[in-house]
Structure 1
Amino acid sequence: MKYLLVLAVVMVAFYVWRNNRITDRSDASRPPPAPPATPRLPVVMVACQQCGTHLPQGDTVQGALGPYCSAEHRRLKEGGSA
């Protein structure tokens, strides 16, 4: 019975050793990971003068009273026709 136990321990040890060896070999064949991308700069957020929705400054529609989220809100707030 003790020989069976020793054989089982040896088989488990061999299995673990072989799996770790295969994993190490596959890691070596992979190309190195790409360097992290440069972080993007923060975007200035502004609030729409009509509804208060915050959006990037580059996506706004500029009006006489400030930025708007759409031409419709600029027309409603400033009373002009588009």
Structure 2
Amino acid sequence: MKLLVLLLAILAGVWLWRRGHRIEPPVSGRPRQRQLQHMVRCPVCGTHVPAEDAVTGQRGSYCSAQHRRDAEGA
């Protein structure tokens, strides 16, 4: 019986020790704010894409070079 109590005490100690040594990601003081992106609408298909990724043509901004060629005939 003493051996069983000793074994339970050792297991409880190991469990508590491992629980206290978990690696957790660092917590920052404030949450990161995401940058908002300006979106433009493709006049051919209506898809909204970020302005920096859009293909610019003479008549506006398009989601791809193929849609620019289709709309402008270039």
Question: What range describes the TM-score normalised by the shorter chain of this pair?
Answer: 0.5 to 0.7
Q: Which residue of 2 aligns with 1:19?
A: 15
Q: Which one has the bigger helix percentage?
A: 1
| Structure 2: stretches of 5+ with no match in the other structure | none
> C-alpha root-mean-square deviation of aligned residues, in Å?
2.9
Q: TM-score scaled by structure 1?
A: 0.60
Q: Which residue of 1 aligns with 2:37?
A: 43
Q: Which amino acid aligns with 2:33?
A: P
Partner Cα distance (1:61, 1:22) in 2: 55
Instruction: Tell which structure's C-alpha radius of gyration is larger.
Output: 1
| Structure 1: stretches of 5+ with no match in the other structure | none
Q: TM-score scaled by structure 2?
A: 0.64
Q: Which amino acid aligns with 1:15?
A: L
Q: Indicate the larger mover: 53-62 or 70-79.
A: 70-79
